[in-house]
Structure 1
Amino acid sequence: MEFIYVLKLIPRLHKEESWTGEDEGIVKRHFTRLKEMTESGVVILAGRTLNEEENAFGIVVFEANDEEQAKVMMEDDPAVKEGIMTAELFPYRVALITERTK
């Protein structure tokens, strides 16, 4: 089954000058985890919008056995677990996908 979770920064982090070293470390762990999950084939796609306003968001499209496992995977994301991002989970179906290189 496929799922998507939508990530949003907490309001304090909408301004770049509000970020701390601890916040940066959390994001690094978040990215490393997503990279590992992509390399193992669990994550299909992950990314974020490039705007910095409060309507900015990130998404993670991934595979899980069921909604319970998907929820645990989302909640274990360091950014969610450590409280710098909120997340909302949705069942999802990839309809079209292309291989692309940067």
Structure 2
Amino acid sequence: MEQYVYLIRPTRDSFVDSMTEQEGKVMDRHFDYLNEMLSEGNLIMAGPCLDGAFGIVVFRAESEDMAKKVMESDPSVMERVMTGEVHPYRVSLMEKESQ
């Protein structure tokens, strides 16, 4: 399988500070989705920028088309809370354990 990264960006600048209850539920589903990818062995790493600018998801997929489907199936993208873009990617260096 190939590696890919998708970036997600909030649809508005004040998202982190003004998230609605419904958006919070969508983001909970987003986190569950990533946990499912992790348990399936397809997620390499994921996390947000602490300033709320964007989040990244590094993962494995069979093809670029499948990678796009993975991103488009993320609840935060499906519900248009976030916009997303996917790119081919390769992890070159990584510490053994995240801190």
TM-score, scaled to structure 2: 0.91
Quick one: distance in 2 between partners of 1:14 and 1:48?
A: 13
CA distance in 2, matches of 1:98, 1:11: 33
Q: Provide Cα deviations, 1:24-61, integer angstroms capped at 9, x if missing partner.
A: 00000000110111122101000011014xxx110000
Equivalent position amino acid for 2:28 in 1? K
Q: Give the letter for the 1:38 counterpart.
A: L
2:5 counterpart SS class: strand
Q: Which runs of 5+ in 1 are unaligned?
A: none
**Aligned-pair distance for 1:97?**
2.1
Once residues 5 and 85 of structure 2 are traced to their aligned partners in structure 1, the CA distance between those partners, rounded to angstroms, is 8
| Percent of paired sites with the same residue | 39
Structure-2 separation of matches of 1:26 and 1:72:
18
Question: Distance between the aligned counterparts of 1:32 and 1:84, measured in 2?
Answer: 16
**Aligned length in residues:** 98
> Aligned with 2:41: secondary structure?
coil
Flag as ranges the 4+ runs of structure 1 deviating above 4 A.
none
Q: CA deviation at 1:99?
A: 2.3
Deviation at 1:15, TM superposition (A): 5.4
Measure, in 1, the Cα distance between the counterparts of 2:14 and 2:81. 8
Aligned partner of residue 61 in structure 1, secondary structure = strand
Tell me the alpha carbon deviations over residues 45-102 of structure 1, each in whole angstroms, 9 at most, x when there is no partner: 00011014xxx11000000000000000000000000000000110001112232154
Residue aligned with 2:9, SS: strand
Structure 1 47/91 Cα, relative in aligned 2: closer, same or farther at 3 Å? same
